[in-house]
Structure 1
Amino acid sequence: MDWQARTNASRISAEQKVVNFTKIGLDVDHLVLPARVAPAQFAATIKRANVDPTVTAIIVQQPVPARLRQFVQDIAPHKDIDALTENSHQQVCATAEGIWRVVQPFVRDAPAVAVVGARGFVGRGVVHRLVEHGHDPLLLDLGNDLAAVRDADIVISVTGSPGLLGLEHIRPEHRLVVDSGFVPLLDGGVAGDVSPLAAGVPQYITPVPGGIGPVEMAVLVERAVRKELAPDLPPWHYQGRPYQASLSGPAAAAQTAAIAFPRSTQVPRQSRPSASDQPPPLPGRSEPCSDRDHHR
Structure 2
Amino acid sequence: MKILDGKMLSSKIEVQIQKEVEFLNQNFIYPTLAVILVGDDPASASYVKMKSKACERVGMNTLTFAMPSNTEEEILLEKIHELNIDNKIDGILVQLPLPKHIDSSKILEAICPSKDVDGFHSLNVGRATLGFECFIPATPLGVMHLLSEYAIELRGKDCVVVGASNIVGKPLATLLLNAGATVSVCHIDTKDVSIYTKMADIVFVAVGKPNLITQEMIKEGAIVVDIGINRLSDGRLVGDVDFENVAPKCSYITPVPGGVGPMTIATLLQNTLQSAKTKLKR
The TM-score by the shorter chain falls in which range?
0.7 to 0.9
- Conserved? CA contact 1:9–1:182, under 8 Å: no
Aligned residue identity for 1:14: V
Q: Aligned to 1:178, which of 225, 244, 250?
A: 225
1:30 matched to 2:64? The reply is yes
- Aligned counterpart, 2:13: none
> Deviations for 1:118-154, whole angstroms, at most 9, x for unmatched residues?
3543111111111112222122113421112011111
- Aligned counterpart, 1:114: 160
- Conserved? CA contact 1:81–1:90, under 8 Å: no
1:215 matched to 2:263? The reply is yes
The structure with the largest alpha-carbon Rg is 1
Following superposition, the deviation at residue 101 of structure 1 comes to 2.2
Equivalents in 1 of 2:164, 2:73: separation in Å?
A: 31
Hey, which of these two has a bigger chunk of strand by percent?
2
Secondary structure of 1:59's counterpart equals: strand
Q: Aligned to 1:138, which of 184, 199, 206?
A: 184
Secondary structure of 1:30's counterpart equals: strand
- Aligned counterpart, 2:109: 73
- Aligned counterpart, 2:86: 52
Secondary structure of 2:55's counterpart equals: helix
Number of residue pairs the alignment of both structures matches: 226
Q: Aligned to 1:97, which of 120, 123, 141?
A: 141
- Conserved? CA contact 1:80–1:90, under 8 Å: no
Equivalents in 2 of 1:216, 1:229: separation in Å?
A: 20
Following superposition, the deviation at residue 206 of structure 1 comes to 0.8
- Conserved? CA contact 2:211–2:239, under 8 Å: yes
The answer for unaligned runs of 5 or more in structure 2 is 1-39, 125-132
Secondary structure of 1:54's counterpart equals: coil
**Alignment TM-score, normalising by the size of structure 2:** 0.73
> Deviations for 1:191-243, whole angstroms, at most 9, x for unmatched residues?
211124434232221111111111122211122222224789xxxxxxxxxxx
Q: Aligned to 1:194, which of 215, 219, 241?
A: 241
- Conserved? CA contact 1:83–1:91, under 8 Å: yes
Aligned residue identity for 1:100: M
Hey, which of these two has a bigger chunk of helix by percent?
2
- Aligned counterpart, 2:30: none
Q: Which moved more, 1:75-84 or 1:114-123?
A: 114-123
Equivalents in 1 of 2:210, 2:279: separation in Å?
A: 39
- Conserved? CA contact 1:122–1:158, under 8 Å: yes
**Alignment TM-score, normalising by the size of structure 1:** 0.70
Equivalents in 1 of 2:260, 2:96: separation in Å?
A: 17
- Aligned counterpart, 1:39: 73
- Aligned counterpart, 1:152: 200
> Deviations for 1:17-49, whole angstroms, at most 9, x for unmatched residues?
101112222221112221221212211211111
**For the aligned residues, what is the CA RMSD?**
2.3
- Aligned counterpart, 1:165: 213
Equivalents in 1 of 2:225, 2:43: separation in Å?
A: 19
